[in-house]
Amino acid sequence: PTKKTTPKRRVCNTTPKVTQQNGSLCSAFTLSLLVGCAVILLISIIVIIRLNYLWNVARHHFVKQLQR
């Protein structure tokens, strides 16, 4: 009698677990990027408002000079 051979099971190739970085370091980096973008946005808004104010003052001064 012939003996039935059972097929060999494939061994799963498990990839080694990737060690996670320190969570506080990653969140600190993300937080610093977010704060940096917010500061740049705030400074640009302040500059735009100031230039708009100076433009209006100069226009008002110019119109006043023309009325004389």
For residue 23, name the pLDDT band (cuts at 50, 70, 90).
Answer: low
- Residue 41 placed within a domain: yes
pTM (whole model) above 0.85: no
DSSP for 7-68 reads PPPPPP-PPPPPPPPPHHHHHHHHHHHHHHHHHHHHHHHHHHHHHHHHHHHHHHHHHHHHH-
Question: What's the structural domain count of the chain?
Answer: 1
Which domain, by its residues, includes 38? 24-68
**pLDDT of 56 above 80:** yes
The reply to whether 10 falls in a domain is: no
Q: How confident is the model at residue 68 (pLDDT cuts 50, 70, 90)?
A: confident
Q: Residue 32: inside a domain, yes or no?
A: yes
- Confidence at residue 63, expressed as pLDDT on a 0 to 100 scale: 92
- Confirm whether 7 is domain-assigned: no
Flag whether 12 is in a domain: no
Residue 13 covered by a domain: no
